[in-house]
Amino acid sequence: MNQSMTHPYQIVILGGGSAGWMTAAALSKVLDPKRYRITLVESTQIGTVSVGEATIPGIREFNQLLELDEDEFLRETNGSFKLGIAFENWQNQGDFYMHPFGPYGVTLHGVPFHHYYLRHVREQGDDKAIPLSDLNLEWRAAMEGKFTRPIADKRSPLGHIKYAYHFDALKYAGYLKKYATKRGVVALDDRMVEARQAIKHGPIEALILEKNGEIEGDFFIDCSGFKALLIGEALGVSYHDWRQWMPCDSAVALPGKHDNDNIVPYTRSIAHHEGWRWRIPLQHRTGEGYVYSSRFTDTETAERNFRETIGNHESKANHLRWINGRRDAPWRHNCAAIGLSAGFIEPLESTGLQLTQSGIMRLISLLPGPGDNRQRAAAFNRYAAEEITNIRDLVLCHYKLTNREDSEFWRYCKQMEIPDSVRERLDLYRENGSVFRNSNNELFNEISWISMFEGQGLRPENVHPLAEQMPAQTLQHHLETIQRVFAQSVAQLPTHEHFIEKYCKAP
């Protein structure tokens, strides 16, 4: 911000919910209130859908930035812990694998561990090889229903546990609203009538509200969700539709039955005849949802089949619709889109809040100010496009790498054309097990790609040449040692339910 400015820089956020209040909370934490004024406009008349939110480990960094007390945050949001995502029925009916958050084994001689494991499977055969689940601490703990935070001894595998959370999204937004307003954010319960602009699709000068009249701003942040009232309607920024690769564009959500004695520390993603369903365990209920493609089934059929699957024939259903894709330029003129208004990837890999969080951190890094922001906007847009495209590539591979042909939906997924970026990744892995990442800023690392490739039956023809140099007996001993150490470590842990009960049980 220009040191010579004599008035505070006005930031106006349109929309509450998780995106709006995460943005407001983060900005209120890092910006000097004497130099910046933050106003958030949300309408409580506009209903929101209360679903359980599943996250990935980056959310911990966001909460740490805000200096939130983890136990208090989990109590306030009915939260639980999450060690990974379980995928059921994705390659074939009855198959199971997990995308755990922590690494497999340990890197040896600079060669990623999975090359040694793939060699081990090739030599021993699937029946005699050590299960991959035994070589990952988080996977093993999740399956045994165990949890702990990282311990102080960093020499122990328990000193490096990776985890995220499940929580009630509406309660999280409310929790951050209290946080932000205490720090000076002004909250207006109002509805936007229109955005005032000097020219069509030009910079925004003010928001015209139903009750509060005009509210002027220097910079506007669009957190209005799929409606994209500023970035889409006012500024006319186009949207890239990716449904040819990601056909699931709808969901129906229902309250699930709660099992007090079985709050598992992982999300379940269960493939079904024409889509998949989520199970997100919270302290007070289990979030249940069915994701499907409107191209292959209608709303009524999807809801009926989902109700029959989970045995819920009475609760009111919430229906959601979206377009998988991204905004061409989420920062245009003096407005940036954060959250759903910037783009969306279906919730298979729990990336919704991660995209919100990374958008917020990107905005803070490239903080707008008076004068020319064009280079900052260009950088923001470039990195946003790279991030969401890389997420798209991983998610669509779950559909492409299937053997299922039991419905028109799965036949389409198996046979669909894929982007060149995905084809390059698959061809490289098939050749020698290498995982190509476009940049160090890419969200998903080798753990994510290996989990999905191995879980859905993609095996390379060869492995890294350096992995062939280790004597077979040495490799077997090494893997058995990892298996034993992880088993002993998990055996020490309390159950997930007992850990919650002791530290963060909701009242």
Residues contributing to the annotated binding site for FAD: 16-19, 340
Known binding residues for L-tryptophan:
349
Q: Which of 209, 176, 194 is nearest to 66 (CA)?
A: 176
Neighbours of 361 (CB within 10 A): 16
Distances in Å between the alpha carbon of 90 and those of 141, 216, 367, 403?
Answer: 22, 50, 42, 8
CA distance 35 to 370: 12
Helix (H, G, I), strand (E, B) or coil at 192: strand
Q: Tell me if residue 82 is catalytic.
A: yes
Binding residues for 7-chloro-L-tryptophan: 82
**Which one of 29, 34, 82, 178 is the catalytic residue?**
82
Q: What are residue 337's phi and psi, to 5 degrees?
A: -95, 135
Element (H, E) at 305: helix 299-310
- Residue at token pair 């992995």: 467
Residue 505 burial (CB < 10 Å; 0-12/13-18/19+)?
middle
Contacts 24+ apart (CB under 8 A), 480-486: 480/130, 482/105, 482/106, 482/134, 482/135, 483/130, 483/134, 483/135, 485/157, 486/134, 486/135, 486/136, 486/137, 486/140, 486/157
Question: Residue 270: phi, psi to the nearest 5?
Answer: -110, 115
The token pair at 90 is 């994705």
The alpha carbon torsion through 52, 55, 60, 66 (nearest 10 deg) reads -50
CA angle (302 as vertex; 297, 306 as ends), nearest 5: 150
Binding residue ranges: 16-19, 82, 340, 349
386's tokens: 């790279």
Measured in degrees and rounded to the nearest 5, phi and psi for residue 129 equal -70, 150
Q: Which residues are catalytic?
A: 82
